[in-house]
Amino acid sequence: MTSSALGPVVQERDRDHDSEHRSQALGSAPDIAGVAILASCALWALISAMGRTARPEGVLLAVLAVAAGYACGRIAGSLLPVACAAAAGLAGLGLALATGTGPSGHQGLDAAQLTLATGAACCAAWAARGAALRSALWLLALTITLTAVVSGPPAGGAASGAVLLCSLAAARLRRRLAGLAALGLVAAIAVGGCWAVAAGAVPGGLPSSLRSHLTEHRIRLWQDAAHLAGANPLRGAGPDLFAELSPAAAASPEPEITPHSAPLQQAAGQGLPGVALLGAVFAWMLYALWRSPRSTPVALTAAAALTALAVEASLGNALSFPQVTAGAGLLAGLATARHLQAPP
Protein backbone atom coordinates (compact mmCIF):
# COMPACT_ATOMS: atom_id res chain seq x y z
CA MET A 1 0.00 0.00 0.00
CA THR A 2 1.39 3.38 -0.97
CA SER A 3 2.01 6.25 1.42
CA SER A 4 -0.74 8.27 -0.29
CA ALA A 5 -3.24 5.50 0.45
CA LEU A 6 -2.12 5.37 4.08
CA GLY A 7 -2.59 9.11 4.48
CA PRO A 8 -6.32 9.08 5.38
CA VAL A 9 -5.78 6.18 7.77
CA VAL A 10 -2.98 8.00 9.58
CA GLN A 11 -5.01 11.21 9.74
CA GLU A 12 -8.02 9.34 11.17
CA ARG A 13 -5.79 7.68 13.78
CA ASP A 14 -4.32 11.05 14.76
CA ARG A 15 -7.80 12.54 15.08
CA ASP A 16 -8.89 9.67 17.34
CA HIS A 17 -5.73 10.12 19.43
CA ASP A 18 -6.36 13.87 19.81
CA SER A 19 -10.02 13.23 20.68
CA GLU A 20 -9.00 10.78 23.39
CA HIS A 21 -6.60 13.32 24.89
CA ARG A 22 -9.31 16.00 24.88
CA SER A 23 -11.74 13.59 26.57
CA GLN A 24 -9.21 12.78 29.27
CA ALA A 25 -8.50 16.48 29.82
CA LEU A 26 -12.21 17.25 30.19
CA GLY A 27 -12.62 14.30 32.55
CA SER A 28 -9.86 15.57 34.83
CA ALA A 29 -11.16 19.15 34.88
CA PRO A 30 -13.51 18.58 37.88
CA ASP A 31 -10.68 17.02 39.88
CA ILE A 32 -8.36 19.94 39.13
CA ALA A 33 -11.09 22.42 40.04
CA GLY A 34 -11.80 20.57 43.29
CA VAL A 35 -8.18 20.59 44.37
CA ALA A 36 -7.87 24.30 43.62
CA ILE A 37 -11.08 25.25 45.44
CA LEU A 38 -10.43 23.14 48.54
CA ALA A 39 -6.87 24.43 48.75
CA SER A 40 -8.18 27.99 48.47
CA CYS A 41 -10.63 27.33 51.32
CA ALA A 42 -7.82 26.15 53.58
CA LEU A 43 -5.55 29.03 52.57
CA TRP A 44 -8.20 31.69 53.12
CA ALA A 45 -9.02 30.28 56.57
CA LEU A 46 -5.38 30.76 57.53
CA ILE A 47 -5.29 34.27 56.03
CA SER A 48 -8.47 35.34 57.84
CA ALA A 49 -7.04 34.04 61.13
CA MET A 50 -3.66 35.71 60.68
CA GLY A 51 -2.75 38.16 63.44
CA ARG A 52 -5.76 37.23 65.58
CA THR A 53 -6.63 34.80 68.32
CA ALA A 54 -8.91 33.00 65.84
CA ARG A 55 -9.02 29.24 65.49
CA PRO A 56 -9.01 28.04 61.85
CA GLU A 57 -8.71 24.37 62.84
CA GLY A 58 -12.43 23.76 62.41
CA VAL A 59 -12.39 24.97 58.81
CA LEU A 60 -9.25 22.99 58.04
CA LEU A 61 -10.86 19.86 59.50
CA ALA A 62 -13.95 20.39 57.34
CA VAL A 63 -11.82 20.79 54.21
CA LEU A 64 -9.86 17.65 55.07
CA ALA A 65 -13.09 15.72 55.70
CA VAL A 66 -14.55 16.70 52.32
CA ALA A 67 -11.34 15.80 50.49
CA ALA A 68 -10.96 12.46 52.31
CA GLY A 69 -14.61 11.56 51.79
CA TYR A 70 -14.46 12.44 48.11
CA ALA A 71 -11.30 10.39 47.56
CA CYS A 72 -12.77 7.38 49.39
CA GLY A 73 -15.98 7.69 47.37
CA ARG A 74 -14.09 7.76 44.07
CA ILE A 75 -12.08 4.68 45.00
CA ALA A 76 -15.03 2.73 46.45
CA GLY A 77 -17.35 3.73 43.62
CA SER A 78 -14.91 2.53 40.99
CA LEU A 79 -14.61 -0.90 42.63
CA LEU A 80 -18.06 -1.70 44.07
CA PRO A 81 -20.47 1.12 43.16
CA VAL A 82 -23.67 -0.61 44.32
CA ALA A 83 -22.36 -2.27 47.48
CA CYS A 84 -20.48 0.80 48.69
CA ALA A 85 -23.40 3.16 48.09
CA ALA A 86 -25.75 0.79 49.92
CA ALA A 87 -23.25 0.48 52.77
CA ALA A 88 -23.05 4.28 52.97
CA GLY A 89 -26.84 4.47 53.22
CA LEU A 90 -26.94 1.89 56.00
CA ALA A 91 -24.09 3.62 57.83
CA GLY A 92 -25.87 6.96 57.67
CA LEU A 93 -29.05 5.40 59.01
CA GLY A 94 -27.16 3.71 61.82
CA LEU A 95 -25.36 6.90 62.83
CA ALA A 96 -28.60 8.86 62.82
CA LEU A 97 -30.31 6.28 65.03
CA ALA A 98 -27.31 6.18 67.36
CA THR A 99 -27.34 9.96 67.85
CA GLY A 100 -31.13 10.32 67.78
CA THR A 101 -31.29 10.61 71.56
CA GLY A 102 -28.57 13.27 71.72
CA PRO A 103 -28.99 16.93 72.71
CA SER A 104 -31.20 19.30 70.75
CA GLY A 105 -28.16 20.90 69.16
CA HIS A 106 -27.58 17.65 67.29
CA GLN A 107 -30.85 17.84 65.34
CA GLY A 108 -28.97 19.31 62.41
CA LEU A 109 -26.59 16.36 62.53
CA ASP A 110 -29.45 13.83 62.54
CA ALA A 111 -31.25 15.53 59.66
CA ALA A 112 -28.09 15.76 57.55
CA GLN A 113 -27.14 12.11 58.12
CA LEU A 114 -30.61 10.89 57.14
CA THR A 115 -30.59 13.11 54.05
CA LEU A 116 -27.24 11.79 52.85
CA ALA A 117 -28.24 8.21 53.71
CA THR A 118 -31.37 8.52 51.57
CA GLY A 119 -29.33 9.86 48.67
CA ALA A 120 -26.78 7.05 48.93
CA ALA A 121 -29.50 4.37 49.02
CA CYS A 122 -31.23 5.86 45.97
CA CYS A 123 -27.91 6.03 44.09
CA ALA A 124 -27.32 2.36 44.90
CA ALA A 125 -30.81 1.47 43.64
CA TRP A 126 -30.23 3.26 40.33
CA ALA A 127 -26.84 1.59 39.89
CA ALA A 128 -28.14 -1.94 40.62
CA ARG A 129 -28.75 -4.21 37.62
CA GLY A 130 -30.98 -7.00 38.92
CA ALA A 131 -34.66 -6.28 39.53
CA ALA A 132 -34.65 -8.01 42.92
CA LEU A 133 -31.60 -6.12 44.14
CA ARG A 134 -32.95 -2.82 42.86
CA SER A 135 -36.27 -3.40 44.62
CA ALA A 136 -34.47 -4.19 47.88
CA LEU A 137 -32.44 -0.99 47.63
CA TRP A 138 -35.52 1.11 46.91
CA LEU A 139 -37.06 -0.46 50.00
CA LEU A 140 -33.97 0.60 51.95
CA ALA A 141 -34.33 4.18 50.67
CA LEU A 142 -38.01 4.17 51.64
CA THR A 143 -37.15 2.81 55.09
CA ILE A 144 -34.62 5.57 55.69
CA THR A 145 -37.15 8.19 54.58
CA LEU A 146 -39.87 6.81 56.85
CA THR A 147 -37.40 6.70 59.73
CA ALA A 148 -36.56 10.35 59.10
CA VAL A 149 -40.26 11.27 59.04
CA VAL A 150 -41.25 9.28 62.12
CA SER A 151 -38.31 9.59 64.50
CA GLY A 152 -36.06 12.25 63.02
CA PRO A 153 -36.29 16.04 63.18
CA PRO A 154 -38.89 17.65 60.85
CA ALA A 155 -36.17 19.08 58.61
CA GLY A 156 -34.66 15.64 58.13
CA GLY A 157 -38.00 14.09 57.22
CA ALA A 158 -38.80 16.80 54.70
CA ALA A 159 -35.31 16.67 53.16
CA SER A 160 -35.24 12.86 52.91
CA GLY A 161 -38.70 12.83 51.31
CA ALA A 162 -37.63 15.49 48.81
CA VAL A 163 -34.51 13.53 47.89
CA LEU A 164 -36.54 10.34 47.33
CA LEU A 165 -39.07 12.14 45.14
CA CYS A 166 -36.35 13.90 43.13
CA SER A 167 -34.58 10.60 42.61
CA LEU A 168 -37.74 8.97 41.25
CA ALA A 169 -38.38 11.95 38.99
CA ALA A 170 -34.77 11.89 37.70
CA ALA A 171 -35.60 8.90 35.48
CA ARG A 172 -37.69 11.19 33.26
CA LEU A 173 -34.91 13.71 32.65
CA ARG A 174 -32.72 13.14 29.62
CA ARG A 175 -30.39 16.10 30.15
CA ARG A 176 -28.93 16.49 33.59
CA LEU A 177 -27.79 20.08 33.15
CA ALA A 178 -31.32 21.46 33.49
CA GLY A 179 -31.89 19.48 36.68
CA LEU A 180 -28.55 20.57 38.14
CA ALA A 181 -29.30 24.20 37.31
CA ALA A 182 -32.68 23.97 39.06
CA LEU A 183 -31.09 22.44 42.16
CA GLY A 184 -28.42 25.14 42.19
CA LEU A 185 -31.19 27.77 42.05
CA VAL A 186 -32.91 26.16 45.06
CA ALA A 187 -29.68 26.38 47.09
CA ALA A 188 -29.17 30.01 46.03
CA ILE A 189 -32.73 30.93 47.09
CA ALA A 190 -32.18 29.32 50.50
CA VAL A 191 -28.96 31.27 51.06
CA GLY A 192 -30.53 34.51 49.83
CA GLY A 193 -33.57 34.07 52.05
CA CYS A 194 -31.38 33.40 55.08
CA TRP A 195 -29.35 36.53 54.39
CA ALA A 196 -32.51 38.62 53.87
CA VAL A 197 -33.86 37.52 57.25
CA ALA A 198 -30.55 38.34 58.93
CA ALA A 199 -30.43 41.77 57.32
CA GLY A 200 -34.11 42.50 57.98
CA ALA A 201 -34.71 42.91 54.26
CA VAL A 202 -37.70 40.57 53.83
CA PRO A 203 -40.44 42.53 51.98
CA GLY A 204 -43.40 42.97 54.27
CA GLY A 205 -41.59 41.38 57.19
CA LEU A 206 -41.15 37.73 58.07
CA PRO A 207 -44.47 35.83 58.48
CA SER A 208 -45.23 34.95 62.09
CA SER A 209 -45.50 31.22 61.36
CA LEU A 210 -42.05 31.12 59.78
CA ARG A 211 -40.66 33.36 62.49
CA SER A 212 -41.90 31.01 65.21
CA HIS A 213 -40.44 28.04 63.36
CA LEU A 214 -37.01 29.69 63.09
CA THR A 215 -37.29 31.01 66.69
CA GLU A 216 -36.36 34.50 67.82
CA HIS A 217 -33.07 33.25 69.23
CA ARG A 218 -31.86 31.92 65.89
CA ILE A 219 -32.87 35.11 64.13
CA ARG A 220 -30.84 37.12 66.64
CA LEU A 221 -27.86 34.84 66.00
CA TRP A 222 -28.22 35.46 62.28
CA GLN A 223 -28.40 39.22 62.87
CA ASP A 224 -25.23 39.14 64.96
CA ALA A 225 -23.45 37.21 62.20
CA ALA A 226 -24.59 39.71 59.58
CA HIS A 227 -23.39 42.58 61.80
CA LEU A 228 -19.95 40.98 62.21
CA ALA A 229 -19.72 40.45 58.46
CA GLY A 230 -20.71 44.05 57.78
CA ALA A 231 -18.09 45.34 60.21
CA ASN A 232 -15.30 43.50 58.38
CA PRO A 233 -16.52 42.28 54.97
CA LEU A 234 -13.07 41.29 53.67
CA ARG A 235 -11.62 39.05 56.39
CA GLY A 236 -14.51 38.74 58.82
CA ALA A 237 -14.03 38.65 62.57
CA GLY A 238 -11.89 35.51 62.42
CA PRO A 239 -12.74 31.80 62.21
CA ASP A 240 -14.44 30.26 65.26
CA LEU A 241 -14.79 33.54 67.17
CA PHE A 242 -18.55 33.95 66.77
CA ALA A 243 -19.40 32.67 70.26
CA GLU A 244 -17.10 35.28 71.84
CA LEU A 245 -18.37 38.22 69.77
CA SER A 246 -22.11 37.54 69.51
CA PRO A 247 -24.34 39.01 72.25
CA ALA A 248 -27.10 36.51 71.40
CA ALA A 249 -24.70 33.58 71.75
CA ALA A 250 -23.45 34.91 75.10
CA ALA A 251 -27.04 35.29 76.40
CA SER A 252 -28.07 31.79 75.30
CA PRO A 253 -28.74 29.27 78.11
CA GLU A 254 -27.02 26.64 75.98
CA PRO A 255 -23.51 27.14 74.56
CA GLU A 256 -23.68 28.46 71.00
CA ILE A 257 -20.57 28.37 68.86
CA THR A 258 -22.16 28.99 65.45
CA PRO A 259 -24.99 31.18 64.14
CA HIS A 260 -26.81 28.05 62.87
CA SER A 261 -26.22 29.00 59.25
CA ALA A 262 -23.15 27.98 57.26
CA PRO A 263 -23.16 31.01 54.88
CA LEU A 264 -23.58 33.45 57.75
CA GLN A 265 -20.93 31.64 59.75
CA GLN A 266 -18.51 32.00 56.85
CA ALA A 267 -19.43 35.66 56.43
CA ALA A 268 -18.90 36.40 60.11
CA GLY A 269 -15.64 34.48 60.39
CA GLN A 270 -14.04 34.88 56.96
CA GLY A 271 -15.88 37.70 55.24
CA LEU A 272 -17.43 37.68 51.81
CA PRO A 273 -14.53 35.69 50.26
CA GLY A 274 -15.32 32.89 52.71
CA VAL A 275 -18.94 32.85 51.52
CA ALA A 276 -17.79 32.82 47.90
CA LEU A 277 -15.49 29.88 48.57
CA LEU A 278 -18.28 27.95 50.30
CA GLY A 279 -20.48 28.53 47.27
CA ALA A 280 -17.62 27.49 45.00
CA VAL A 281 -17.38 24.13 46.79
CA PHE A 282 -21.06 23.47 46.14
CA ALA A 283 -20.75 24.62 42.51
CA TRP A 284 -17.74 22.34 42.06
CA MET A 285 -19.74 19.33 43.25
CA LEU A 286 -22.54 20.15 40.81
CA TYR A 287 -20.00 20.57 38.01
CA ALA A 288 -18.38 17.24 38.85
CA LEU A 289 -21.81 15.58 38.78
CA TRP A 290 -22.51 17.18 35.40
CA ARG A 291 -19.29 15.67 34.02
CA SER A 292 -19.81 12.36 35.85
CA PRO A 293 -19.65 9.15 33.78
CA ARG A 294 -22.42 7.67 35.93
CA SER A 295 -26.02 7.63 34.73
CA THR A 296 -28.16 10.75 34.89
CA PRO A 297 -30.45 9.41 37.68
CA VAL A 298 -27.41 8.69 39.86
CA ALA A 299 -25.91 12.13 39.25
CA LEU A 300 -29.19 13.96 39.85
CA THR A 301 -29.96 11.94 42.98
CA ALA A 302 -26.61 12.84 44.50
CA ALA A 303 -27.14 16.47 43.48
CA ALA A 304 -30.58 16.48 45.12
CA ALA A 305 -29.14 15.11 48.38
CA LEU A 306 -26.32 17.68 48.36
CA THR A 307 -28.79 20.48 47.61
CA ALA A 308 -31.02 19.37 50.50
CA LEU A 309 -27.92 19.39 52.69
CA ALA A 310 -27.08 22.90 51.47
CA VAL A 311 -30.56 24.11 52.44
CA GLU A 312 -30.24 22.46 55.86
CA ALA A 313 -26.82 24.05 56.31
CA SER A 314 -28.24 27.47 55.43
CA LEU A 315 -30.91 27.17 58.12
CA GLY A 316 -29.03 25.14 60.74
CA ASN A 317 -25.70 23.82 61.94
CA ALA A 318 -25.44 20.73 59.69
CA LEU A 319 -21.93 21.53 58.42
CA SER A 320 -20.56 21.98 61.94
CA PHE A 321 -20.01 18.21 62.20
CA PRO A 322 -17.07 16.57 60.38
CA GLN A 323 -19.04 13.36 59.75
CA VAL A 324 -21.50 15.38 57.67
CA THR A 325 -18.84 17.08 55.56
CA ALA A 326 -17.10 13.73 55.07
CA GLY A 327 -20.42 12.14 54.12
CA ALA A 328 -21.11 14.85 51.55
CA GLY A 329 -17.71 14.29 49.98
CA LEU A 330 -18.26 10.53 50.03
CA LEU A 331 -21.61 10.80 48.24
CA ALA A 332 -20.15 13.14 45.62
CA GLY A 333 -17.24 10.75 45.08
CA LEU A 334 -19.52 7.72 44.72
CA ALA A 335 -21.65 9.54 42.15
CA THR A 336 -18.67 10.71 40.06
CA ALA A 337 -16.56 7.54 40.15
CA ARG A 338 -15.70 5.80 36.88
CA HIS A 339 -15.86 2.01 36.90
CA LEU A 340 -12.45 0.45 36.35
CA GLN A 341 -13.73 -1.62 33.44
CA ALA A 342 -15.50 1.29 31.75
CA PRO A 343 -13.92 2.75 28.59
CA PRO A 344 -12.48 6.27 28.85
Q: CB neighbours (10 Å) of residue 205?
A: 8
pTM for the full model? 0.90
Phi and psi torsions of 291, nearest 5°? -90, 5
pLDDT at residue 168 tops 50 = yes
Report pLDDT digits (tens) over 223-273. Answer: 999 999 999 999 999 999 998 899 988 887 677 788 999 999 999 999 999
Phi and psi torsions of 232, nearest 5°? -145, 80
- Kindly give, in sequence order, each residue whose CB lies less than 8 Å from that of residue 157, ignoring residues fewer than 6 positions away: 114, 145, 148, 149, 150
d(CA 16, CA 38) in angstroms, rounded, equals 34
Per-residue pLDDT band for 208 (boundaries 50, 70, 90) equals confident
Phi and psi torsions of 122, nearest 5°? -65, -40
Query: What's the confidence (pLDDT) of residue 102?
Result: 53
d(CA 120, CA 296) in angstroms, rounded, equals 15
Report pLDDT digits (tens) over 75-131. Answer: 999 999 999 999 999 999 999 888 765 555 567 899 999 999 999 999 999 999 999
Report pLDDT digits (tens) over 281-337. Answer: 999 999 999 999 999 999 999 999 999 999 999 999 999 999 999 999 999 999 999
Query: What's the confidence (pLDDT) of residue 14?
Result: 43
Contact of 137 with 164, CB cutoff 8 Å = no
The CA-based dihedral angle spanning residues 79, 83, 87, 88, taken in that order and rounded to the nearest 10 degrees: 60
33 vs 206, higher pLDDT? 33
Distances (CA, A) of 99 to 103, 153, 258, 260, 338: 9, 12, 20, 19, 33
- Kindly give, in sequence order, each residue whose CB lies less than 8 Å from that of residue 66, ignoring residues fewer than 6 positions away: 38, 281, 325, 326, 328, 329
Three-state DSSP class for residue 82: helix
Q: What is the mean pLDDT of residues 2-7?
A: 46
